[in-house]
Amino acid sequence: GALSPPSRSKAAGMKRLALGIALSVGAACRALSADLSAPVVPQLPMPAYTWTGIHFGINGGYGLGQVSPMGLYTDAFSAFNFNASGGLAGLTAGAQIQSGHTVLGIEADIDWAKISGSGSGQISFNGSPIGTATLSSKVSSVSTLRARVGYAADNWLVYVTGGLAATDQMSNLTGPIGFVCGTGASNSPPCSSLSSLHPGLAAGAGFEYGITANLSAKGEWIWVGAGAVNTLTENMLRAGFNWRFGM
């Protein structure tokens, strides 16, 4: 028979509820289907550390080696070697480029130094002894211009280096026995040498660690041989910081 009015209202409500559920389920299925069909965008890896750029820095350390300073006067005189050591500090500038793990660059530095030493012994003129004296020597600066070749592993860099060097070195002769210095005679050496730059060579190795994308810390060993007749050989142990600008 015909439904009473309350029954018809209840049936209409049930139909509306069923329709709402069906619509909700359909919307959820469409959303899920869209999510499943959407392309998955891979996460980009973090950029690798790079050593490419121009850098400026500071360095400091200690030098120790040997001096044979008579070559600073003239090559007609020869004498003994003695130890010379002292501190140094200075500035660095350079540029490098990285390709894969290989890092190629060039670097220049100037260090103000207090490297000194003295000793006493025999003085010779053209190979013949003329007497004894005390020699003292002081190195006031060491400069280098070097190529660098390195291997990079993320923010670690190890390298070898080599190039040119120049030292500002002077020497004094005191207490001569058997001869007199500074007379102007050919067999009389000056009592002091001129302070001037003396060319030479530099070579060494080191490591550098990237603290941030721009700031790095380094430690290195640099051998320097310089002077008119190789009057100075020094081993410099240095540490420093570089600030790099990307290229």
For residue range 73-90, list pLDDT tens digits in order: 777 888 788 999 999 999
pLDDT at 227: 60
- pTM confidence score: 0.76
pLDDT at 3: 46
- pLDDT tens for each residue of 125-148: 888 899 999 999 999 999 999 999
Range with the poorest average pLDDT among 10-14, 68-72, 192-196: 10-14
**pLDDT class for 11, splitting at 50, 70, 90?**
low
pLDDT at 23: 56
- pLDDT tens for each residue of 166-219: 999 888 999 889 999 888 888 888 888 877 788 899 999 999 999 999 999 999
Instruction: Say if residue 155 is exposed, middle or buried (CB neighbours under 10 Å; 0-12, 13-18, 19+).
Output: middle
